[in-house]
Amino acid sequence: MMTRAIAFGAVCPGLTSSCVSCVQTDRLTFPHGAMVLVRCRELGVYKLLGESSLQCQNGVWTHRPPACIPTTMLTNFTEDSPPTVLIKIPSGSASVEPSGDLAVFPGSILHLECLFSRKLGNPEWTWTSTFRQFLTGWAIAAEEREWKYRLSIYYTKPQDSGVFTCSTPRGLTNSITVHVTERHLKPHERFFIPNYHFYRIDRQSGRKGGTAVAVRKGIPHIHVDLPPLVSVEATGVCIPIGNSEVLLAAVYKSPSKAWSDADITELLSFRPVHCEPMEINDPYLTSRVEGTRLGQVAVFQCPIGFRLNGTSNLTCQASGRWSAPVPYCMPIICPRLETEDPHLSLVEHNTSYGGRAVFRCAWGYRLTAPPGIECEVDGQWSGPVPSCEGVGGREIHRRMSVVYGEHSMSRSRVLAWHEGASTLLVLVLVRLAMLASNVDDMTSHEISKF
């Protein structure tokens, strides 16, 4: 069922039918002006009784919902049932449109088979096309000639389009509307099949068209590039089954071309692409490889403390090569630190991931930031290098020279006052420089004189 237009206003209820072959839409509502096309599920096996086109007008349908009537194939060939019409396409292609009409590709061979018991009489075929006459009669095969009354259209042309009706001796009928036309794929941006992946190859020159394959989502598959073909156009996907693959291809041959044995051989002998197995020599590199078939993926990662150098995901391509070289793991190293502050020194310096750099200031200075930073996973330090600043106060330096007999010593005394404090803090730093060789004999009493 298909909605053609939407407008605002009163709504119509969903369509219901007692026929099991009809599409049920009783859970839907349709706005004023909506157009709905109705058809039976199986073309020719059921006969649509009623109007196939309905429109919602102010909350009421313009016609009563139609019904699908079973035909002779379902009623054991009773006389009071309309005849079944089966569709056979020995050559070419055809499809049922949403409206219930049969679209046939030009140049096809079409057989419409009216199922009726021969012992009850001869049915009759009629058609609306005036282009030419068509062959009709009972099937020749022994197993078919008692119940199949056939109409054949060889090498269909657009002028053959029309309504083809089979009538029984009692006047019961069933009809098929045939349109002979070349259908083109809709543009990519307007083509969508719910729950399916869709692959298509459009013809690049001449009359527009192409081939396409639809694969239901959830089925493992990969779109493949088929070899160049001369007489046909093809789109293919490979579906893995066990340890091998099956090629599923949509193939089109123009009626004006003959089959090429080379093309058939290429398609039948086609083998999916495989990439070479990977050599992984890095002891730190871990991998998860789906396989070596076309489209399969290999994923790589490194442990903590290492950086992956290269691409983490590799795909087996149609060329038979992986999309990139195998990556490798490099240890994470932070840049070495340099201290420009003369009062700042490094007491620990580990540049590997997780390592620390620890700083210290000279006496009389303090750090302006935490004393340690860490090498992080991005190869950068967790913070900047700190600096040193002098402790608040003023310094007084006096240089004194004292001679003890033959010993000459040089000594500095430093006095400092902590600003804001009431207590005088006296710090004494003694440096000794000896002209003689033995100063260790100095007593604490002698030093205290300074």
State the Cα–Cα distance between residues 56 and 9, nearest whole angstrom. Answer: 10
Q: What is the pLDDT of residues 49-76, one digit of tens each?
A: 888 888 888 888 888 888 899 999 999 9
Instruction: Measure the CA–CA gap between 310 and 127, rounded to whole angstroms.
Output: 69
pLDDT score of 17? 46
What pLDDT does 188 receive? 60
Residues of 290-309 as b/e, b for ≥16 C-beta within 10 angstroms? eebbbbbebebebeeebbee
CB 213 within 8 A of CB 226: no
Please state the rounded mean pLDDT for residues 329-342: 90
- pLDDT at residue 309 greater than cutoff 80: yes
Beta strands in 97-147 (DSSP E): 102-104, 109-115, 124-127, 135-138
Dihedral over Cα of 259, 231, 240, 191: its sign: negative
Tokens at residue 57, please? 């007008």
**pLDDT class of 27 with cuts at 50, 70, 90:** low
User: Given pLDDT bands bounded at 50, 70 and 90, which one contains residue 23?
Assistant: very low
Residue 185 confidence class, pLDDT cut points 50, 70, 90? low
Residue 299 has pLDDT above 80, yes or no: yes
DSSP letter (8 states) at residue 316: B
Q: Say if residues 214 and 198 touch (Cβ distance below 8 Å).
A: yes
Closest CA to 86 of 63, 111, 103, 104: 111
Residue 446: band (very low, low, confident or very high) from pLDDT cuts 50, 70, 90: very low
d(CA 90, CA 154): 10
Token readout for 218 is 């959830």
User: Could you tell me which residues are beta bridge partners of residue 344?
Assistant: 361
Give the phi and the psi of residue 119 in degrees, each rounded to 5.
Answer: -70, -15
Q: Quick one: average pLDDT of 370-385?
A: 91
Alpha carbon 433 to chain centroid, angstroms: 82
User: Would you place residue 443 in the very low, low, confident or very high pLDDT band (cuts 50, 70, 90)?
Assistant: very low
Q: What is the pLDDT of residue 121?
A: 93
- Output the pLDDT for position 263: 86
Q: Where are the beta strands (DSSP E) in 156-289?
A: 162-167, 173-180, 196-202, 210-216, 222-224, 232-241, 244-253, 286-289
Give the pLDDT score at 21: 40
Neighbour count for residue 244 (Cβ, 10 Å): 10
Please tell me the distance from the alpha carbon of residue 393 to that of residue 38, in angstroms, as a whole number: 99
The pair of three-digit structure tokens given for residue 299, joined into one six-digit string:
């994923």
CA–CA gap between residue 52 and residue 99 (Å, rounded): 8
| pTM for this prediction | 0.45
More confident residue, 18 or 151: 151
**What mean pLDDT is predicted for residues 162-182?**
93
pLDDT for 206 equals: 62
Three-state secondary-structure class, residue 178: strand
HSE (CB half, 13 Å, CA atoms) of 148?
Answer: 16
Instruction: Name the band, by pLDDT with cuts 50, 70 and 90, for residue 450.
Output: very low
Q: Which domains does the chain have, with CATH numbers?
A: 1-70 (2.10.70.10), 84-180 (2.60.40.10), 188-268 (no CATH), 286-331 (2.10.70.10), 344-390 (2.10.70.10), 394-447 (no CATH)
Span 186-193, mean pLDDT?
64
Mean pLDDT, all residues of the chain: 78
Tell me which residue has tokens 């051989």. Answer: 265
Q: Decide if pLDDT at 181 tops 80.
A: yes
Weakest-pLDDT range from 108-122, 186-200, 316-330, 416-430: 416-430
What does the DSSP 8-state code read for residue 441? T
Contact (CB, 8 A) for 365 and 390: yes
Q: How many CB atoms lie within 10 A of CB 19?
A: 19
Question: In this structure, are strands 53-57 and 84-91 parallel, antiparallel, or unpaired?
Answer: unpaired
- Which residue in 234, 310, 245 sits closest to 272, CA to CA? 245
Token pair recorded at residue 114: 């009216």
CB atoms within 10 A of CB 176: 23
pLDDT given at position 88: 94
Kindly give the residue spans of alpha helices, DSSP state H, lying in 172-251.
none
What residues are paired with 251 via a beta bridge?
A: 234
Q: Sheet holding 102-104: strands in order across?
A: 94-96, 102-104, 173-180, 162-167, 124-127
Residues 135-159, mean pLDDT to the nearest whole number? 93
